[in-house]
Amino acid sequence: MTSQLLVWCQWLEATGIGTAVRESSLLFPLVLGTHLLALGISVGTTAIWDLRLLGVTLKQEPVSEVMGQLLPWSMAGFAGMFISGALLFSSEATYVFDSPWFLLKIACLMLAGVNALVYHLTIERRIHEWDRQVRPPGAARLAGAMSLTLWTVVIIAGRTTAYSL
């Protein structure tokens, strides 16, 4: 399994795209810049939902109102982040494959996805009961705290991966 992944990373790194991003002095910062811009939009808007779920800000606004208006931005930002991230990954695949920080980053990204899914399938189903509460129920606050923590770890691990490059 591991060796198959490594072979795949080697192949990816040798592709035209991987080589172009790695070797171009303009392309790498451009793609990294896009990654950070998209991160700003995606994590920025997500952090506000999280703070609303925690009941610490935008207390007068219904939770569904905050989420509904910000969701398209979180999603668009995530798409930009994913595409630019895939390009960055392709340029340094074998190195990154070996980095424990990168594994931590991917693990936290997946956990953030699971957290959002669990929230969506459980406590959000009854959102009409607590939509206007200043302090949402414990399960919703837990989802907000988890999301905020996981995304912060994703940023820390991502930055450490790049720093040790």
Partner 1 sequence: MSRAALLPLFQWCDHTAIAIAIRESTWLFPFIQVFHLLGLTLLLGTTVVVDLRLMGCGLRRQPISRLALNLWPWMQRSLAVILGSGILLFVSEAMKCYGNDAFWFKMGALTLALAFHFTVFRATITADDTQVTPLRSRAAGVVSLLLWLSVGAGGAAIGFV
> Is residue 104 a contact residue for partner 1 (CB under 8 A)?
no
CB of 64 to partner 1, least distance (A): 12
C-alpha distances (whole Å) from 130 to each of 4, 55, 150 are 48, 11, 24
Asked if residues 36 and 80 have their Cβ atoms less than 8 Å apart, the reply is no
**Nearest Cα residue to 66 out of 117, 121, 134:** 134
**Footprint (CB under 8 A) of partner 1, residues 5-64:** 29, 32-33, 36-37, 40-41, 43-48, 50-51, 56-61
Instruction: Name the one residue in this structure whose structure tokens are 């959102």.
Output: 127
Stretch that binds partner 1, among 3-11, 124-132, 133-141, 149-157 (CB under 8 A): 149-157
Q: Does 66 bind partner 1 (CB under 8 A)?
A: yes
**Number of Cβ atoms within 10 Å of the Cβ of 102:** 20
**Number of chain residues interacting with partner 1 (CB under 8 A):** 36
Determine contact, residues 9/94, Cβ cutoff 8 Å: yes
Q: Which two tokens stand for residue 117?
A: 């899914």
Q: Which amino acid is at 128?
A: H
Helix/strand/coil for 123: helix
Q: Does 78 bind partner 1 (CB under 8 A)?
A: no
Q: How far is the CB of 108 from partner 1 (least distance, A)?
A: 13
Q: How far is the CB of 12 from partner 1 (least distance, A)?
A: 21
Minimum CB–partner distance for residue 71 and partner 1 (Å): 10
Asked whether position 118 contacts partner 1 by CB under 8 A, the answer is: no
Contact (CB, 8 A) for 55 and 135: yes
The footprint of partner 1 (CB under 8 A) covers 29, 32-33, 36-37, 40-41, 43-48, 50-51, 56-61, 65-66, 69-70, 73, 148, 151-152, 155-156, 159-160, 162-163, 165
